[in-house]
Structure 1
Amino acid sequence: MENTTGAMKFICVTLLIISGITDSRSDLLSFSFTEQYEAVGPADAVLAVAGEDVILPCSVKPNISVVDMRVEWFRLDPKDSKLVHLYEDHEDRNTNQIESYRGRTKLNHQELQRGNTSLKLSSVRVSDEGLYKCFIQSKSWSDDATVDFNVEAVGRPPVITVDGFDHSGGLHLLCESEGWYPEPDLEWLNSEGVSLSSETTETQTDSV
């Protein structure tokens, strides 16, 4: 009887130790899954020239496939966030996309297998400038990253020449510049930065 009792105590202690190890591993796996992955965006603001295409970077680190996840890009607005691009159930679903982005956004579906959720934005406009959020969600995990996007206008520096004189001795000045996108506003200033008034001002745009 004494031997049997001793054996039972030994078995009981062994089961408790194994149970403790199992619980510890379960907690470790749970912590690792929820804390290991994160959505990562660029450290600095993204700059693009108006009229060109741009990539807004975002990815999951470490790299895992997000093919089965939800990927949503939207603009951060003080009043209401607006949808820029949505990928869900293995396809793009942009029914509720902002109208101005229609046909200009794209996710590389092959890159989704490597955790790359970067958004390509075509034909950049000045109105596209702002803060964007990349939101990634699976059944048991979600995270987001913010992208600050700035747009730079382009155009050649203006050249001013004297185009003639009128009957009262006033000057006709000609200001020429091209390649601007978007189309700029025109204002004449003197050397001190004060706005000049004129009898007439004509603006001519050459179409290509």
Structure 2
Amino acid sequence: MEGLFLRFLLRTITSLVFCLLLTHCSRGQSESVDSLQPIVARVGDDVVLPCQIKPSLDVSAATLEWKRSNLFVLVWRTGADFKRQKDPSYRGRTSLFPDELKHGNVSLKLSDVKLSDKGMYRCYVVEKNREMFVELVVVSVPGCSPVISLSRMDRDRGGVVLQCESRGWYPEPEVLWLDAEGNLLSAGPPETVRGPDDLYTVSSRVTVDKRHNNSFTC
């Protein structure tokens, strides 16, 4: 009777250990590699989104995917960039470091960063079921120095109309006019245009009295 009980206990312990090992192995394949701090870039910059598989292994022949939301940023198959599957907004702007793939480095180079590139990116090694997430933050961009020019004469008021223009801003800037003493001048609403690069060009006009040695700041 005691022998039967010992054999039953041994089988129970063996089954429990097997189940624990099976659970551990199945979980290990789906865990993320490492969590990273957000990567910060400015519009127009080139940036590298890191993805290092640990422990290091050769993934040069593996299927590799970079995605943002549901967009394919880059797909690597049979040792080459599979460009047909890449979202059009990323074509010509994303690449890997082929010589580093044998060391498990799947980092992505993203060129000419756009505001729309911001978000969470997923680096995924398909055959190994290994993944990593990294967030890209795109920060504000100061534009070019304002350029003031003489727009036209205002014959009705006996003054002149000055125009101020500046390009390459994000987010949309405010425009203020000041006289030589630092007093705020009354100007009409500025004209703002958003370009294909998501940056703003802003222009503003103000009518001032025509006087010698009078200076204004935009």
TM-score, normalised via structure 1 length:
0.62
Cα deviation, residue 151, structure 1: 4.5
Cα deviation, residue 71, structure 1: 1.5
2:111 counterpart residue number: 122
- Whether contact under 8 Å (1:83, 1:97) holds in the other structure is yes
Structure 1: distance between partners of 2:26 and 2:97: 26
1:72 counterpart residue number: 65
Q: How high is the sequence identity, in percent, across the aligned residues?
A: 34
1:9 counterpart residue number: none
Name the aligned partner's letter for residue 103 of structure 1: G
- Whether contact under 8 Å (1:188, 1:195) holds in the other structure is no
2:87 counterpart residue number: 98
2:71 counterpart residue number: 82
TM-score, normalised via structure 2 length:
0.60
- Whether contact under 8 Å (2:122, 2:131) holds in the other structure is no
Structure 2: distance between partners of 1:91 and 1:159: 47
Cα deviation, residue 163, structure 1: 6.7
1:196 counterpart residue number: 188
Structure 2: distance between partners of 1:89 and 1:143: 19
Alignment length (residue pairs): 175
Name the aligned partner's letter for residue 39 of structure 1: V
Which range is displaced more, 91-100 or 128-137?
128-137
RMSD: 4.1
Q: Say whether 1:147 aligns with 2:141.
A: no
- Whether contact under 8 Å (1:160, 1:176) holds in the other structure is yes
Structure 2: distance between partners of 1:93 and 1:195: 53
Structure 2: distance between partners of 1:50 and 1:172: 33
Cα deviation, residue 170, structure 1: 4.8
Structure 1: distance between partners of 2:187 and 2:40: 31
Q: Say whether 1:60 aligns with 2:53.
A: yes
Structure 1: distance between partners of 2:120 and 2:99: 26
Query: 5+ residue gaps in structure 1?
Result: 1-15, 204-208
Query: 5+ residue gaps in structure 2?
Result: 1-9, 179-183, 191-201, 204-218
Describe the shift of the 1:113–1:33 C-alpha distance in structure 2 as closer, same or farther (beyond 3 A).
Answer: farther
